[in-house]
Amino acid sequence: MQTVSVDEFIRQSFDFIIIGGGTAGLAVASRLAQDGKFTVGVLEAGGTANGRDDVEIPAYFGRSLGTDVDWGFETAPQASLGGRKVKWPRGKALGGSSAINFMTWTRASRKDYDAWEELGNSGWGWNDLLPFFKKTETFHPPNSSLQIEEDIRYDLDSFGTSGPIQISYPAEFSPTHRLWVKGLNSLGVPTNPAHVAGSNVGVWSNVTSVDPRTMTRSFATNYCSLAGSNLYILTEAVVQEIVLDNSDGGFVASGVRFTHKGQEYVSSAAHEVILSAGTIKSPQILELSGIGSPEVLSRAGIAVKVDSPMVGENLQEHKALHYIFEVDPEFKSTDDLNLDANLAAAAREQYDRDRAGPLASLPSSYTYVPLANFIPQETLEKLYSRAHALTGFPPEKKALMERRLRSRDEFGQVEYLFKLGVGLPPDNSKKYGMMFQILQHPFSVGSIHVQPQPASGDDPVIDPGHYHGPPGEIDLEVMLESTRFAHTILHAPPFNDVVKQLLNPPASLFEDDENIKKWIIDGTVIALHAVGTCAMGGHAGIRGGVVDERLKVYGVKGLRVVDASVMPLQISAHIQSTVYAIAEKAAAMILDDVAR
> How does DSSP assign 515-543, residue by residue?
HHHHHHHHH-EE-S--B-TT-B-GGGGGG
322 is catalytic: no
Distant-in-sequence contacts of 395-404, Cβ < 8 A, 24+ apart: 396/118, 396/119, 396/120, 396/538, 396/539, 396/540, 397/119, 397/544, 397/568, 397/569, 400/115, 400/118, 400/119, 400/569, 401/441, 401/443, 401/569, 404/111, 404/115, 404/441
Q: By three-state DSSP, how is residue 265 classified?
A: strand
How many CB atoms are closer than 10 A to CB 140?
18
CB 254 within 8 A of CB 245: yes
Q: What are phi and psi of 479, to 5 degrees?
A: -65, -35
Q: By three-state DSSP, how is residue 73 classified?
A: strand
Cα 564 to Cα 22: distance, rounded to the nearest angstrom: 11
Of the chain, the end-to-end C-alpha distance in Å amounts to 30
**Catalytic, out of 140, 260, 466, 529:** 529
Cα 145 to Cα 379: distance, rounded to the nearest angstrom: 45
318 is catalytic: no
Cα 111 to Cα 60: distance, rounded to the nearest angstrom: 34
Q: What are phi and psi of 64, to 5 degrees?
A: -80, -10
Q: Which residues pair with 326 in a beta bridge?
A: 432, 501
Cα 596 to Cα 592: distance, rounded to the nearest angstrom: 7
Annotation-wise, does 273 bind a ligand?
no
Cα 466 to Cα 524: distance, rounded to the nearest angstrom: 9
| Nearest-10 Cα torsion for 80, 379, 113, 159 | 110
> What is the maximum span of the chain, computed from C-alpha positions, in angstroms?
73
Cα 326 to Cα 329: distance, rounded to the nearest angstrom: 9
The amino acid occupying position 490 is L
Name the binding residues. Answer: 239
What residues are labeled active site?
A: 529, 574
Residues at the binding site for FAD are 239
